[in-house]
Structure formats: structure tokens, C-alpha cells
Amino acid sequence: MFKGLSAFPLTPLKEERIDEHAFIALINRSLEAKVDSIGVLGSTGSYMYLSREERRRVIELSVREARDTPVMASISELRLRDVLALAEDAQQAGVRAVLLAPVSYQPLREEEVFSLYEEVSRHVSVPICVYDNPRTTRFTFSDELHGRIAALPHVQSIKIPGVSDDYIEAKERISRLRSVVPGKFALGISGDDCAATGLNAGCDVWYSVLGGLFPRICLELTRHAQAGRADEAVRVSAQLAPIWSLFNRYGSMRTAAAIAIRQGWMSAPGLPLPLAPVPASDMEQIADCLDALA
Amino acid sequence: MFKGLSAFPLTPLKEERIDEHAFIALINRSLEAKVDSIGVLGSTGSYMYLSREERRRVIELSVREARDTPVMASISELRLRDVLALAEDAQQAGVRAVLLAPVSYQPLREEEVFSLYEEVSRHVSVPICVYDNPRTTRFTFSDELHGRIAALPHVQSIKIPGVSDDYIEAKERISRLRSVVPGKFALGISGDDCAATGLNAGCDVWYSVLGGLFPRICLELTRHAQAGRADEAVRVSAQLAPIWSLFNRYGSMRTAAAIAIRQGWMSAPGLPLPLAPVPASDMEQIADCLDALA
């Protein structure tokens, strides 16, 4: 499942409960566009803010809707005990892969992170994607640690944070990572503004926030890059620059929420309080861009 | 309750469950030494790693043991919904104050943090202590925000992070904070290595990790500072320098855990996995210091 476009939808909330109707509609937007996979309960999907029951429900709904399209779900939690319980839930509900970030309250040490992945890799039977997101986990992987974890059973992908927008630097970064992971291993780009460069530089998959909202244009970008049309992929990404600018200012989750609200796909505020979507006043700067997409 | 020495005990775990016997014994060490208050479920008390039921149990046990000594407990969670539920639990169990940090997965924005405190201040009936800990929350309060929050009903204290070890700079920092909070308001120092300087510079209370392990020496330091014997407070703190050095390297929670294990007060590893105590090999450098304390 670790190739092409993986769409990471929001988990819409309404009065602090999961808005199942809105969630299913979002999932189906991506499925109709024929994304390669769905990544529920990513950072954009509010996984850390949901209870175990809520997380199980989100997975059940998405697996049911997705049919043959593979579904990945995050099993990250602060405590190993809870990660193992979530892994069990996710597998029982039919995920084809699990996404695991070293989330922290007490900033984690390298050996603690390794022990987390080692323990989880002993307990699961589906592929594990390592979620490398220093912004939310406050943990920075060394390449050496990536190599040790990638050698563990079941570990088959890394969701990497944004790369340089300079193609040569991005290429060097991906090559360096390739040199520490096994031969058949999927590197996936996140940070949507870096997707074109990341794919052009050799990433196998785009773990995409915008793919959970506007899957068609994200697929267009992805297919260009996969076919070696690097310039075309960059051209598509450039059309979305106003959106990337809001992503960088407010974070992609707050921006995605404001887009979904503006498009009528979710009720405001839609996010788990105290998180708040981008204020409507700042959405004006992407109005033309959104109208062109819709 | 916001004065003098507030002891912040570990929450010992045994096979991933709360070791109630060890927890009660730790609490009683502090109570016998006559600390001014107990702060359960602080960062050292693993609050973010415990379930709602576990947190309720910790509060019930400590309130029962503490009798007239006031107990404060953290009600922090990622989601406002959960914070309010924890506040309700804590108040029902008899806490005399609640401690609230703007914990985050998605780094929080200033208005989100204000809305969190505003909402909680509307719902509680006991004093709120603002927990300012950028290391674990990744949120840095501006002084202006501290002022806005301090003006909310029930907000009566801030647990501030470490101050400069330069007395003049620390004094300036405390004066600046005093200028934005109401007249009768308690500033509390955390970062145990800064306690002497913080108290000497005008803090009202020491929110203390070591006070949950070795309350007597922490009381000695506190009483010196309270009586204006600044040099004596600094002298006591200097005796503990080897411990502060490990606090700074591994974090106070991992060090406190290793101390409790070494002293036989808790079984290894005692912390919620994947967190691990300071390795035994690095504990040798504080062996003399601990032997002198015990």
C-alpha cells in the first residue's frame, strides 16, 4: 500500500462527537478519485485527541467504505501499553498497515524510541509505517536510528517530514535515507508543499493532507511525478501555493478544517477544542485557489 | 496552599499498574516531613500517561493520606472535553487546587491557550495553578498572555519554569511577572536546580520534584529562603548539585525514578514504558550525594 497518493482525511467533529456522516463523505471523495490508499487518524485526523472507542469507530467506518482500497491508521499513544491496545483494535478492524509516531509528553530519548518500535514490531502482523514528525512529537530521528528501526520485522515505510525545496538537496536527503533502510522500503513524503519535490527526488508515496480534501489535483501531481514528468508535478504544486502558505502559517490541520468548513463538508469548528480552524478572515487569501479547485 | 514547599511525588508503577503501596509510602515521606502541600499527578507523577481511572485513584489515595495537608492535582489533557471531565473528578475527590498545562500534540496558538483557561475557569470551583512548562507542552507563554489568564476567575498561581541562576536576572524575571498578575498571586518556581534562586528572587512556593523524595532537605532550603537567609538556601542547593546535573541531563522524572528504585522505594522500571529511568551506571555519580541524604 505504500505507493502513489495516500489521502489523510480529517476526522470531523460535531459538538465534540465524531460526525460520521461528514467523515464518510470525506472518505468517499478520496475513494471516488481513486487514491492509492487512505490514511485515517493521522495528525490531520486528530488521532491524539480521540478516545480508544472513537479511534476504533473511525477505522471501522473507513475500512467498510474503502473496500479494496487499503487503509492505514495511526496507533500512536504516549504509553506503550496503549499503543499495543490500539494496534490490536486497528488490526481487528481490518487496517492494512499501522502508522506509529514516537509521540511524547516527556521528550523521548533515542533508546526509548527504539524500544517502542521493537516492542510494537513484536506484536503486530501488518506492516508498520514509521511516522517521523518532529513538529508534533518533538523527537528528531537520527539516520542511524531510522536504519535500526527499518531493520525490525514489519517496518516497511517511513513518513518523512518536509524536504528542502531545492531538488538537489532533496535528492541527497532521500539518497542518504535509502542508504540506511532495506532495499525494498517505501519512503513517503509529508508536508504537502514539499510533495512534488519529494516525489521527484525519489519518494514512493505522498502522505497527503490535501489528498483528503482535493484528491483529483493531488493525484494529478502524483501521476506526473511517478511518470517522470518532474516539471509538470512542480507546476501543479505551484498552483496550490496559496494553500501551502496557510499550511505553513497555521499548520495543515487548522487549514484543512477551515477549507472543509468553507466548502460545506464539515460544521464549524469541526476540530477538538481548544484547537481552532484558520479564522475566516485569513481564508480570503485562498478563496480564488479553492474556487478553481472546486 | 500556594506557599513554601509543594512536594511532587512520582506515581510508581509495577507491571504497568499503579503501585499503590509504594505511592502511599512516598506521599507519607513528604507528609511526615511536614511539607506545605502535595502536588500529585505532576509531570513527575506521569499524569499524561495515566487513564482517567488511574488519575482519579491517585487523587483519592493522596487526599485520604494527606488529611489537612492540601493536595493539588493536574487536570491537563490534550482535549478540553477531557480536561473538564478530569477537573470534575479531581474536585469530587477533594483536591484543594488544580494544575493546568497547555499540553499539546498540535502546537497550540495563543488564542487557543487562552480559550482553554477561560473555559476551565468557568467550570471549576477550586483555585487553578497555571503550569508553564515549555519543555513538555511546547508552548511558550508571553507575559501578556500570563496577565490575561491570571485575571480569570480562580487563577491564583503560575508554576514557572526555571529562572536564570543569576540572582539579578532572576529577580528581574519575577518582577516582570509580578507586574502582569494581580496583587495577591502566587508565583511558584519549578526546575529544582533553580529553586534557591527562584525563592530568593521572590517566588512564593517551590513546586518540587526532589521534595517528593527528600522532603527534609528541600524544606531546609525553603525555610532558609523564606526567612531571608538567601546564602544558606544557595548553600543547601549547592550540596545537591550532582542531582541537579542528572536532572538536566535526563530530565527530573527519569532521575527521580532511578533514585526511588535505588533507595528501594519503587520497583524497576517504575515508569510508564517506553520511558526509562536513568541507567544504573550513571547513578554512581550521585551515590555519595544520595548516601548523605538518606
pLDDT, tens only, A186-212 = 999 999 999 999 999 999 999 999 999
CB of B290 within 8 Å of a chain A CB? The answer is no
Is position B170 within any domain? yes
pLDDT digits (tens, 9 = 90+) for B162-214: 999 999 999 999 999 999 999 999 999 999 999 999 999 999 999 999 999 99
Q: B-chain residues within 8 Å CB-CB of A253?
A: 106
Residue B121 belongs to some domain of the structure: yes
Q: How confident is the model at residue A77 (pLDDT cuts 50, 70, 90)?
A: very high
Say what the pLDDT of residue B222 is. 98
Of B250, B251, B274, the CB nearest to A80: B274
What is the per-residue pLDDT for B67? 94
Asked, for residue A114, whether it belongs to a domain, the answer is yes
Task: Give the mean model confidence (pLDDT) for residues A140-160.
Answer: 98
Question: What's the pLDDT tens digit per position in B211-264?
Answer: 999 999 999 999 999 999 999 999 999 999 999 999 999 999 999 999 999 999
Of B16, B49, B112, the CB nearest to A276: B112
List the grid coordinates of A13.
Answer: 467533529
Query: How long is chain A?
Result: 294
- A5 forms beta bridges with A206
Q: How far apart, in whole angstroms, are the C-alpha atoms of residue A8 and residue A210?
A: 8
> How many Å separate Cα B208 from the centre of its chain?
5
Residue A89 has pLDDT above 90, yes or no: yes
Q: For residue A96, which of A116, A73, A62, A75 has the smallest C-alpha distance?
A: A73
* ipTM of model: 0.96
Which of chain A's residues have a Cβ under 8 Å away from the Cβ of B78? 48-49, 272
Residue A269: pLDDT over 90: yes
Average pLDDT over residues A149-177: 97
Q: What percent of chain A has pLDDT over 90?
A: 99
| Closest CA in chain B for residue A251 | B106
CA distance A189 to chain B (A): 19
B13-14 and B17-18 strand pairing: antiparallel
CB contact under 8 A, A79 and B49: yes
Q: How far apart are CA A35 and CA A211, in angstroms?
A: 8
Q: What pLDDT sits at residue B80? A: 98
pLDDT of residue B72: 98
* Alpha-carbon dihedral B222, B28, B70, B80, rounded to 10 degrees: 100
User: What cell numbers appear for A132 in the block?
Assistant: 517521523
β-pair type (A37-40, A17-18): unpaired
Asked if residue A294 belongs to a domain, the reply is: no
Q: Smallest Cβ distance to B79: which of A135, A251, A273?
A: A273
- Section A270-294 average pLDDT: 96
Query: Do the bridges between strand A13-14 and strand A17-18 make them parallel or antiparallel, or are there none, so unpaired?
Result: antiparallel
Residue-wise over B33-68: b if at least 16 C-beta within 10 A, else e? bebbbbbbbbbbbbbbbbeeebbbbbbebbbebbee
Encode pLDDT of B58-87 as tens digits.
Answer: 999 999 999 999 999 999 999 999 999 999
Q: Within a domain: residue A258? A: no
pLDDT band for B294, please (50, 70, 90 cuts). confident
Looking at CA atoms only, how far is residue A278 from chain B in angstroms? 11
The average confidence (pLDDT) of chain A is 97
Residues of B in contact with A115 (CB under 8 A): 273-274, 276
User: Would an 8 Å CB–CB cutoff place B3 in contact with chain A?
Assistant: no
All residues of chain A having their beta carbon less than 8 Å from the beta carbon of residue B275 are 106, 108, 112
CB hemisphere CA count around B9 (13 angstroms): 29
> Nearest residue on chain B to A138, judged by CA atoms?
B138
User: Measured between alpha carbons, how far is A158 from A2 in angstroms, rounded to an integer?
Assistant: 10
Which cell numbers in the block locate residue B132?
508553564
Q: A-B interface: how many C-beta pairs under 8 angstroms?
A: 85
Inside any domain, residue B286: no
Q: Which stretch of DSSP H or E encloses residue B122?
A: helix B110-123
Average pLDDT value for residue range B141-160: 98
Closest partner residue to B48 (CB to CB) among A78, A115, A276 is A78
Split at pLDDT 50, 70, 90, the class of A222 is very high
Question: What was the pLDDT predicted at B223?
Answer: 98
**pLDDT score of B1 more than 90:** no
- Asked if the C-beta of A106 comes within 8 angstroms of chain B's C-beta atoms, the answer is yes
Q: What does the alpha-carbon distance between residue B284 and residue B281 come to, in Å, rounded to a whole number?
A: 6
Do the domain assignments include residue A77? yes
Within a domain: B234: no
Cβ contact A128:A100 at 8 Å: yes
Contact between chains at B106 and A253 (C-beta distance less than 8 A): yes
Distance, CA of B221 to CA of B225 (rounded, Å)? 6
Residue A294 pLDDT grade (very low, low, confident, very high; cuts 50, 70, 90):
confident
Q: Do B251 and A115 touch (CB under 8 A)?
A: no
Domain count along chain A: 1
Q: The domain containing residue B40 runs over which residues?
A: 4-227
Average pLDDT in chain B = 97
- Is residue A131's pLDDT more than 90? yes
Considering only alpha carbons, which residue of chain A is nearest residue B138?
Answer: A138
pLDDT in tens, A1-35: 899 999 999 999 999 999 999 999 999 999 999 99
Residue pLDDT, tens place only, B111-131: 999 999 999 999 999 999 999
| CA angle (B109 as vertex; B105, B110 as ends), nearest 5 | 135
Residue A138 sits at the chain B interface (C-beta within 8 Å): yes
**Percent of chain B predicted with pLDDT > 70:** 100
Give DSSP secondary structure letters for B201-228.
TT-SEEEESGGGT-HHHHHHHHHHHHTT
List the CATH number of the domain containing A127. Answer: 3.20.20.70
Q: Do A107 and B276 touch (CB under 8 A)?
A: no
Q: Do the Cβ atoms of B43 and A116 come within 8 Å?
A: no
